[in-house]
């Protein structure tokens, strides 16, 4: 098993695209990259801790290779937005691929280069690729939020602009 970590706006919206894929053994919403140990959602929500909202995925690379995770990741975000995603504008909503080893780093860089070459976007691709750091799981009520609170989740997807981003940039993907 390996770990993969992705930031792409609100972590609630980043779980479902990955969860029912073969070889995915778990997805945890949490925080990564900040300076505060054991941050709470309320602290991260201020945008002042330096953390990103991330999903950490446990996967079997023999069944679902990292490249496939990257293929699923890109269409969940606007990779040209360096300050958040959709209506989620604080620093914790920035998009990033957080690699756990050198192979993941190389594959992430390659996939970003391929996206740039595709010509799909008019603006530069600014999604960060950086080394994973300490991961702090989010509070239990954030885990599998889309299942626990489906109505609120759907409303959040609309409000955040997530579905509009997917429609605008990735419909034909």
Tens-binned pLDDT, residue by residue, of the chain (173 aa): 999 999 999 898 899 999 989 999 999 999 999 999 999 999 999 999 999 999 999 999 999 999 999 999 999 999 999 998 888 889 999 999 999 999 999 999 999 999 999 998 999 999 999 999 999 999 999 999 888 988 988 888 888 888 888 888 887 65
* 91 in Cβ contact with 47 (< 8 Å): yes
SS3 141: helix
Prediction pTM value:
0.94
pLDDT of residue 30: 98
State yes or no: is 10 an active-site residue: yes
pLDDT of residue 173: 52
- Each domain of the chain, given as residue ranges in start order, spans 2-170
pLDDT of residue 172: 65
Which residue out of 10, 54, 69, 97 is catalytically annotated? Answer: 10
Distance CA 20, CA 64 (A): 11
**Strands across the sheet containing 128-131:** 128-131, 95-99, 2-8, 52-59, 24-32, 135-137
Fold classification of 2-170 is 3.30.1060
pLDDT of residue 69: 98
């Amino acid at each position: 098993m390996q770990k993969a970590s992705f930031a792409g706006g609100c972590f609630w919206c980043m779980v479902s695209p990955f969860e029912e894929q073969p070889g995915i053994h778990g997805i945890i919403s949490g925080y990564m990259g900040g300076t505060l140990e054991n941050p709470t959602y309320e602290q991260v929500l201020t945008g002042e801790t330096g953390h990103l909202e991330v999903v950490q995925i446990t996967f079997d690379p023999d069944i679902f290779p990292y490249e496939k995770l990257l293929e699923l990741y890109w269409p969940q975000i606007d990779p040209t937005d360096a300050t958040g995603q959709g209506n989620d504008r604080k620093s914790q909503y920035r998009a990033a691929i957080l690699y756990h080893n050198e192979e993941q780093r190389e594959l992430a860089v390659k996939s970003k280069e391929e996206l740039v070459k595709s010509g799909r976007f008019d603006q530069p691709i600014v999604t960060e690729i950086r080394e994973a750091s300490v991961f702090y799981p989010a509070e239990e009520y954030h885990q599998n939020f889309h299942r626990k609170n489906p109505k609120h989740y759907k409303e959040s997807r609309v409000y955040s602009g997530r579905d509009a981003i997917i429609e605008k940039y990735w419909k034909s993907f």
